[in-house]
Structure formats: C-alpha cells, structure tokens
C-alpha cells in the first residue's frame, strides 16, 4: 500500500513538472507568434506605403518630362535617365 502511494506521488510530481514545462513552452511559442504577426503587419504596411510612393514618383517623373526637355539635355538628361530607369525597375518589382 505504501509502495503504491509512493509510486503514485512520484508519478504525480513528474506529471505536474512536465505539464508546467509544456505550459511555459506554449506561452513562449504564443509570444513568438504574436511578435511575428506584428512584424508581418509592419512589413505589409511599409511595403504598401512604398508601393504607393513609387507610383507617385513614377507619375511625377512622367509629368516632369512631358515634352522630353530633361531627357534631351546632356547633363540633366543623363541623371534623369538613370533616375527614371531606377524608378521603372522598382515599379516592375512591385
């Protein structure tokens, strides 16, 4: 009888210890998932804002050179073409 009580007590203590460790592990995983979701939301918001700004930059560049005056200039034209190419490449990526 005493042996049974001792075995059951040890089993109960081990079970409580395992359950406590499982709860701690689950809480850590929940915290990680919450942080990951927040990070994904922040990245999505940043990406959306960047995409909007790229669209605005594209329209500003196109409006700035409606008649092709910047592209025709030697000094300004080279810089303008490079900026326009970078913006076009970024727009293709988005």
> pLDDT tens digit string along 15-32?
999 999 999 999 999 999
How many angstroms separate the CA atoms of 87 and 93, rounded? Answer: 10
Is residue 86 predicted with pLDDT exceeding 70? yes
Average pLDDT value for the chain:
85
Which percentage of the chain shows pLDDT scores above 90? 48
Write down the pTM of the prediction: 0.55
**3-state DSSP assignment of residue 73:** coil
pLDDT of 80: 74
């Amino acid at each position: 009888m005493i042996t049974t009580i001792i075995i059951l007590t040890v089993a109960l203590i081990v079970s409580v210890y395992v359950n406590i460790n499982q709860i701690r592990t689950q809480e850590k995983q929940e915290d990680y998932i919450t942080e990951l979701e927040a990070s994904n939301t922040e990245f999505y918001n940043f990406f959306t804002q960047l995409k909007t700004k790229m669209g605005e930059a594209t329209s500003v560049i196109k409006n700035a050179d409606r008649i092709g005056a910047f592209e025709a200039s030697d000094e300004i034209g080279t810089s303008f073409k490079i900026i326009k190419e970078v913006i076009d490449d970024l727009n293709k990526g988005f």
